Chains A and B, each alone.
Chain A
Amino acid sequence: MGSAGLLQFIARLSRRRLPYLLALPILIYEGIFILYPMLVGIQYSLSNIQAGSTASNWVGFDNYHRMLTDNTFWQAVKVTVEYSLAVIVVALSVAVGTAMLMNQAFRGRGIFRALLTTPWAFPDIPTTIVFVWMASPIYGVLGKMARWLPWVHNNPKWLLDPHLALATIVLISVWKGFPFYSLVILAALQGVPQELYEAATVDGANAPTRFRYVTLPAIKPTLMLLALLAFIFSYQQYTLIWQTTGPGPLQTTQTLSILIYNEAFQFYDTSYAATIGVAGFVLSVIAALMFVFLERQARAAEER
């Protein structure tokens, strides 16, 4: 068997070199498809390139100066932060709730678990198709349901309404995103020792107290990790927004991803799109590092 021979050959290499050999293909692969384009993007951001032309003039930090004084950019930063925070908070809350519901012993919980987590497997584009249909201002069933509320008399315009568009997209993103978090939290819940709950109950703790002092501390590391993941996912979200609103009414749903795509493919301003891209990447890395730092601090404070 060829692969066995190859394996033996690799095995004979010294233990010190093996990890580097294993990492090398990944470094090369990600280097070609992510790192190299990223560096080219930085080069674009420092020059003046329009789509279709290959000529480039070095313009230094002109594009960055333009970006920092561009209200559209700051508006997109604001929308991105609002969207990400809303998705993190709502999706994780729903996920904790559903995970606790699923963490009970009863017949047929496998079926409930499958049903509850189906949206995760439901692809993005069909999701946007059905939600755009449900949120149609004329025929949409969401409007019908909103009118059940006593103070709503006309169908809201949902994705077309500057006040509701982002909230509607958050709703769609939560529907699509929460099952993954819920499954991970469920596993964390199952790792909480049963004795802790029993001891707390013996001590007279009621359900909310048990949640606060037993469940929450036990799943906190998992929650922090998921919050970071949720941030990354919503920061990168493109499809769900592009196919429902795009920039949206009064650009209220124009996140950085949407803005970059618009600059590159609607306005053909390659350099400016790359500039916003670089800035967006730097902002996301700073946010992630801050997050990791805060988490470490919180953990250290707990252990003290």
Chain B
Amino acid sequence: MASQSAYLAPAPPRLRFRGAKAIQIAILVIVCVLIMFPIYWMLLSIVQPYKYSLAYNPSLFFRGFDLSPFHTVFLNYSMGLWLWNSTQLALIVTVICLGLSLLGAYALSKLRWKAKPGFGFFILLTQMMPGAIIIVPVLRLYRSLGLVNSLPALAFVQAAFALPICIWILKNVFDSVPGEVMEAALTEGCGEMGVLWRMMLPLSIPGLVAVCVVGFFFSWNEFLFASTFISPDSGLLPGSVGLGTMQGLYDTPIQLLLAAGFIFALPPVVFYILIQRYMISGLTAGAVKG
């Protein structure tokens, strides 16, 4: 935890009396309880026997404990396969986003060129494009090329939508690297790309982590393209669509649906909690300046 202080720099405002601080912490606890309640309720409805959940006046506390839904989801549904497909998909998207956003962010942040505002505007435009607009043209294109039911082909489209925000995040991080560092490296005989490779990258690790997380989560989450480009019988459904089909069946027992959702949410949540310190400094490097 020693490195934490580096990211959370200045001491926050000192309150005038201790009571105020106690009140603030009490509010914080209440807010946390409210925010976490849906996740708590999810767990409760999964592990307590079914009959207690199906009540007009459900108890707010656990009544009984049974972990079998977690097991049943893997047995009766293709949960394992869905997770594997989602993982492949998300990894491809992450790699594309990382590679391309490095180039774009460096060009936008540290290089001077005439078309820079135009390029920035282009990125903003692509970011504003709702997926629903381009889905039919892309679907037709993919059909004619035989690219439906292909995870890489789906990943390419997902990455196209995650890329703009990745570029902005990384640009902000690069902006916060002082120009003098770069000038010094250039006069030492480092090329522009050498500066990117040897100076910017090591100084921007939190930003790179943030880009990876944003790309990975985007793909893990993505439903619109995945549900349109992958057919259910292909054995290639990612988790989001697999869960969506479970949700669409009226006879799916609720504790199984919730258990599947919980398992699907677990990787990103655990991952996020592990790296959240990097995430925060990475996401927000440029935010301070506005």
Inter-subunit contact B265/A122 (CB<8 Å): yes
Is B91 part of the binding interface, using a Cβ–Cβ cutoff of 8 Å? no
Q: How far is the CB of B235 from chain A (nearest CB, A)?
A: 19
CA distance A123 to B262 in the complex (A): 10
Counting chain A CB atoms within 10 Å of each CB, the highest count among B13, B115, B221 belongs to B13
CA distance A127 to B240 in the complex (A): 11
Give the CA-CA distance A103 to B12 in the complex, in Å.
6
Q: How far is the CA of A194 from the CA of B14 in the complex (A)?
A: 9
- A112 & B135 in contact (Cβ 8 Å cutoff): no
Report A235 CB to chain B, min CB distance, Å.
7
Q: Is the CB of B41 within 8 A of A130?
A: yes
Nearest CB in chain B: distance from A284 CB, A = 5
Known: A7-B194, A131-B38, A260-B133. A115 touches B119 (CB 8 A): no
The chain B residue with its CB closest to the CB of A262 is B132
Contact at A280–B133, with CB atoms within 8 Å? yes
Contact indicator A121/B271 (Cβ below 8 Å): yes
CB contact between A118 and one of B36, B141, B167 (< 8 Å): that residue: B36
Residue in contact with B268 in the complex, picked from A27, A101, A123, A191, CB distance below 8 Å = A123
Q: List 15 A-B contacts (CB under 8 A).
A: A15-B111, A19-B112, A26-B123, A30-B126, A38-B129, A110-B4, A121-B271, A121-B273, A129-B243, A134-B41, A184-B284, A190-B8, A191-B10, A225-B290, A261-B224
**A-B contact sample (12 more), CB < 8 A, given A27-B122, A33-B156, A238-B223:** A7-B193, A18-B107, A19-B107, A33-B159, A40-B137, A101-B27, A113-B276, A121-B269, A133-B41, A189-B12, A232-B128, A281-B130
* A interface residues, Cβ below 8 angstroms from B: 7-8, 10-12, 15-16, 18-20, 22-23, 25-27, 29-30, 32-38, 40-41, 44, 97-98, 101-106, 110, 112-134, 138-139, 141, 144, 155, 175, 180, 183-191, 193-194, 197, 201, 210, 220-222, 224-225, 232, 235-236, 238-239, 242-243, 256-257, 260-261, 264-265, 270, 273-274, 277-278, 280-281, 284-285, 288
